[in-house]
Chain A
């Protein structure tokens, strides 16, 4: 992994984006954050940039974040993926972990721990 990370943030909610930008701005070890709002945008970005880490929302407007997780796992296995959702049921956790997600964050309650995990 590079010394400083490139992070791809995939989430289409502007409200979450508003919270995430300042948070990621002060996460040590992050060099550049690229944001994509949809599955399609994320796939376009992945074609020309390989991030070290993807922060991925389960709910995307065009396809499910789980489809994207599947795509990343199949094509870019080295990329670490953290799933983010506001519906952190055990069922989701199990599905995502089985499909290769490294961590799982509940946006409602685990937001604070995310900076630390991103910088680790």
Chain B
């Protein structure tokens, strides 16, 4: 699968752009007028974001770069895709800011507005950047970079899980506890509810930490680790999971890093299946010859249409991990007919480079 920028939703786009916690985010129209800014933008460029100041994005940009920005704006208005442009800023904490521009209405650009994401660059003048932020770059990444990206995505997922899930559960518990009144007739109900919610949080933390712990392949091997993963899942869900593998020696003689990545792929795909597919049965096949390792994960769930489904973080990580070993990923899914994920990794190459 080739990820184009058009496939990316805002959260995925922000994550793809980097590990910058302090994004500037703004929405501008054809006349560069600002209608939406995030707090980082507001606080950095306060002078012009104050009410009654006209709020023109152009008045932030150094005169030398204004024409370049105007060109980028014209190129992207009403046309799908993404334009990256590095600009010297007149105001703000840093001189150079890397901006990424995308039409707000991705499908046809008809809103006439652009969403701009930006982050500060180091003080010295950066190397020139090609005009278009090209998705090809994603495919041509070096293996180490792919693994790092996959790890970053995983961290982002865990962060989101902690925040969106566990944090919310605990906030609910806090709210129940804060309205607990000794003499109220609801006392027992509210107390019981709070206790129940906290137990739920404990269970969620347990699940998450189990996923985070790396299996030790030197002791256990990959096959046994996958077997254990399946056993754990049998307890927790109605899923019936079959696992076939051959040849054990060839599989276990691969390097630890490759085995870890295969394990992570299995883990990610199973997570996708449990979360989205409503499947009852899953078949996992892991086969290694002298030439290649082939991992197949098939489910009988509701399937989906790959053409219209945005690649979530789970799938993105799978592609990155396979790419790190020069491998290929085929995702064969049809609505109503389940999904097959096939990952092939050539062994004579092991790692490119």
Q: Which residues of A contact B (CB under 8 A)?
A: 2, 6, 12-15, 17-18, 21-22, 24-26, 30-37, 41-42, 44-45, 48-49, 58-59, 61, 64, 66, 87, 91-92, 95
Residue of B nearest to A38 (CB): B39
Give A21 to B36 CA distance when docked, in angstroms.
8
Closest beta carbon of chain B to A69's beta carbon, Å: 12
The interface residues of chain A lying within 8 Å CB-to-CB of B163 are: 12, 61
Q: Contact between A49 and B11 (Cβ–Cβ < 8 Å)?
A: no
B171 in the interface (beta carbon within 8 A)? yes
Give A6 to B167 CA distance when docked, in angstroms.
30
Q: Contact between B34 and A32 (Cβ–Cβ < 8 Å)?
A: yes
Task: Mark each residue of chain B from 152 to 193: 1 if its CB lies under 8 Å from any CB of chain A, else 0.
Answer: 000000000001100110011011100100000000000000
**Count of interface residues, chain B, beta-carbon cutoff 8 Å:** 34
The interface residues of chain A lying within 8 Å CB-to-CB of B167 are: 59, 61
Q: Contact between A64 and B35 (Cβ–Cβ < 8 Å)?
A: no
Q: Contact between A18 and B9 (Cβ–Cβ < 8 Å)?
A: yes
Q: Which residues of B contact A (CB under 8 A)?
A: 9-11, 14, 25, 27, 34-39, 42-43, 46, 49-51, 55, 104-105, 111, 113, 115, 163-164, 167-168, 171-172, 174-176, 179
Give A26 to B179 CA distance when docked, in angstroms.
38
Q: Which of B34, B115, B164 contacts A13, CB < 8 Å?
A: B164
Give A12 to B167 CA distance when docked, in angstroms.
12
Residue of A nearest to B170 (CB): A59
Report if A64-B171 is in contact (Cβ < 8 Å); known contacts: A25-B111, A34-B39, A95-B179.
Answer: yes
Q: Which of B27, B42, B50, B175 contacts A64, CB < 8 Å?
A: B175
Q: Which of A15, A22, A66 contacts B11, CB < 8 Å?
A: A15
The interface residues of chain A lying within 8 Å CB-to-CB of B171 are: 58-59, 64
Residue of B nearest to A36 (CB): B39
The interface residues of chain B lying within 8 Å CB-to-CB of A59 are: 167-168, 171
Q: Contact between A25 and B36 (Cβ–Cβ < 8 Å)?
A: yes
Q: Contact between A35 and B10 (Cβ–Cβ < 8 Å)?
A: no
Q: Contact between A35 and B11 (Cβ–Cβ < 8 Å)?
A: no
- Known contacts A24-B36, A25-B111, A37-B38, then 18 further A-B pairs from the complex at CB < 8 Å, ordered by chain A residue: A6-B51, A15-B9, A17-B10, A21-B115, A26-B111, A31-B35, A32-B37, A34-B37, A34-B39, A44-B39, A45-B39, A45-B42, A59-B168, A61-B163, A64-B175, A87-B172, A91-B175, A91-B179
